[in-house]
Structure 1
Amino acid sequence: MPLETRKSAPTGQQKKDDDPMTITTGLATREGTAQDNADAARVYVLEDGIVGAAVIDGIGHGPHTSRTAPLLAETAARISARRGPLGGLLAASELIADRGADGEEADAVAVAVRVRPDDDIAVVNWTGDARAYGWDGARLELYTDDHTVGKQLRANGVSVKIAREHDNWLRTSLARATIGTVYTAGIRDQVVILTSDGVHDQMPADILEDLVREHQDAPQALADALVAAARPDETGYRDDATAIVVRIGQQTGR
């Protein structure tokens, strides 16, 4: 369900036209062709209107991962709203940092955001290859770097063909997260989009941007469209696909 929160900026931080800031969100997830949905996402809104949101992409499939991913997403979203997304992801990390007696504790990659109604910068933290995009009304920009071996090889001059073969090898994950491996970005754009790789890896970049342009004013419609647009690869495999959309703007005439 889409969520909406409004809060006037405090004294000394009034927006130019004194209209309240509005944060509207949308969330969608779709199971892929594997055993079950190892993705999860949550949006949490504090009493003062601050929004925390997180997308979790579980590594592998199976009942244990699908049970744990929603817990990680809930923890990350709630703590992100209260303490920021760095704290949110590190708190979620503690839930799976120990492999457990059977050595089969779940692992994941993740991206989280906190948006304040009185601040024009959304703070994003991530680990692994979950992503955050920003849309300013004219262009879509990727604000995160995938923490994969393939990405690192390309950054160091290795050919795209060779590097692509290592895109599924993660350099870090949520269970191993530290302050040094959870990266931070600030986004000033009016729309922030969080995705699992089942979205951004399974559709061309131009289609993703076209969908954002078409649905930029309707976060739930955009989240639904992004998840629905993910297509199977040449083998017929389609990954779990999950997206959160956060729109930050000012509402007039209310």
Structure 2
Amino acid sequence: MTTPVITAVATRQGTRSHNADAATVYRLPGTPMVAAAIVDGIGNTADVVTFARTAAEVAARVGARRGPLLGILAAAEMATAPPGVQVEDGVAVAAVASADSSTTAIAWTGDSRIYGWTGSRLVQRSTDQTMGTWLRAWGGTAVTLHPSHGPDTTVPTEDAARVLDDLARAALARCSIATVPICYISDPMVILTSDGAHGQIPPAVLETLVRDHAHAPQTLADAIVTAAQPDTDGYRDDATAIVIALPPRT
């Protein structure tokens, strides 16, 4: 008998009125396939919450059947609109694993993340699709900022990147088959997080949590969202984590 994939989900509302994160785990009936998705809604209204929950469900259900890339693109169809029309939007990560395989397929758009636990270290397997990440790769040594109030300011690229780390380059409404990366990883444990989790937990603390709780997926997911701390202004984002533990390789 095949050992099933074990999954765990945890989420915690931040300091705003709604939890605009959504997480879905879907097991395709009659198969060993398991898909998981997080959608971090942009904004904090009741409509954004509904969008995120539905988009996460679509990404997981389609992902289980067609893979994580098509799962995210199916969810993205919910955010399409004519030019100039504003609709609800969000960023997304998706992963599809099988109890029959040691490989997990992953895809993402925006700045939610996918990590792999190798058994000895935590590795970030996705790359944030933000303007901050883009500047670090292509911005040279200095960047001139054009603030809406005040004079232009030229600052080191890293300073500008930190300002723009929260600006998604490819949210669901602006993603396409050309912008959604898909990768295949062989880590025995895969962790999906919204930016309210990994963005408000120091990397060393996150790795320590995974190391300490790798044997207990639900405990780990709960510990990740609990560890997210408010910033210096007291703001804490919604935090969500999905843990996927694959069966031991044979």
- Normalised to the residue count of structure 1, the TM-score between the two structures is 0.88
Match of 2:129 among 147, 157, 161: 147
How is 1:56-135 mapped onto 2 (pairs within 5 angstroms)? 56-98=39-81, 103-135=85-117
Secondary structure of the residue that 1:41 maps to in structure 2? strand
- In structure 1, C-alpha distance between the alignment counterparts of 2:118 and 2:212, rounded to whole Å: 13
1:163 partnered with 2:145: no
Q: Deviations over 1:195-238 (max 9, x none)?
A: 00000100100000000001111111111110010000000000
- In structure 2, C-alpha distance between the alignment counterparts of 1:240 and 1:79, rounded to whole Å: 25
- In structure 2, C-alpha distance between the alignment counterparts of 1:162 and 1:106, rounded to whole Å: 27
- In structure 2, C-alpha distance between the alignment counterparts of 1:212 and 1:186, rounded to whole Å: 21
1:39 partnered with 2:21: yes
How is 1:204-219 mapped onto 2 (pairs within 5 angstroms)? 204-219=202-217
Give aligned pairs, total: 233
Could you tell me which residue of structure 2 aligns to residue 200 of structure 1? 198
- In structure 2, C-alpha distance between the alignment counterparts of 1:72 and 1:210, rounded to whole Å: 31
- In structure 2, C-alpha distance between the alignment counterparts of 1:170 and 1:70, rounded to whole Å: 19
- In structure 2, C-alpha distance between the alignment counterparts of 1:105 and 1:75, rounded to whole Å: 17
Secondary structure of the residue that 2:173 maps to in structure 1? coil
- In structure 2, C-alpha distance between the alignment counterparts of 1:126 and 1:251, rounded to whole Å: 26
- In structure 2, C-alpha distance between the alignment counterparts of 1:86 and 1:163, rounded to whole Å: 27
Give the residue type in structure 2 aligned to 1:147. Q
How is 1:164-203 mapped onto 2 (pairs within 5 angstroms)? 164-203=162-201
Could you tell me which residue of structure 2 aligns to residue 51 of structure 1? 34
> Where do 4+ consecutive residues of structure 1 move more than 3 Å?
none
- In structure 2, C-alpha distance between the alignment counterparts of 1:248 and 1:84, rounded to whole Å: 17
Q: CA deviation at 1:87?
A: 0.9
Give the residue type in structure 2 aligned to 1:41. A
Q: CA deviation at 1:99?
A: 6.3
Secondary structure of the residue that 1:165 maps to in structure 2? helix
Q: Deviations over 1:22-64 (max 9, x none)?
A: 3100001111001201100000001212001000000111111
User: Please, which runs of 5 or more residues in structure 2 have no aligned partner?
Assistant: 142-156
Match of 1:226 among 224, 227, 230: 224
Note closer, same or farther for the CA distance 1:218–1:148 as it changes in structure 2 (3 Å cut).
same
Match of 1:235 among 225, 230, 233: 233
- In structure 2, C-alpha distance between the alignment counterparts of 1:232 and 1:103, rounded to whole Å: 33
Deviates more, 1:238-247 or 1:156-165: 156-165
- Normalised to the residue count of structure 2, the TM-score between the two structures is 0.89
Q: Deviations over 1:86-113 (max 9, x none)?
A: 110011111121269x944210000000
Q: Deviations over 1:170-197 (max 9, x none)?
A: 1111122210111112110100000000
Deviates more, 1:117-126 or 1:190-199: 117-126
Is the 8 Å Cα contact of residues 64 and 105 (structure 1) preserved in structure 2? no
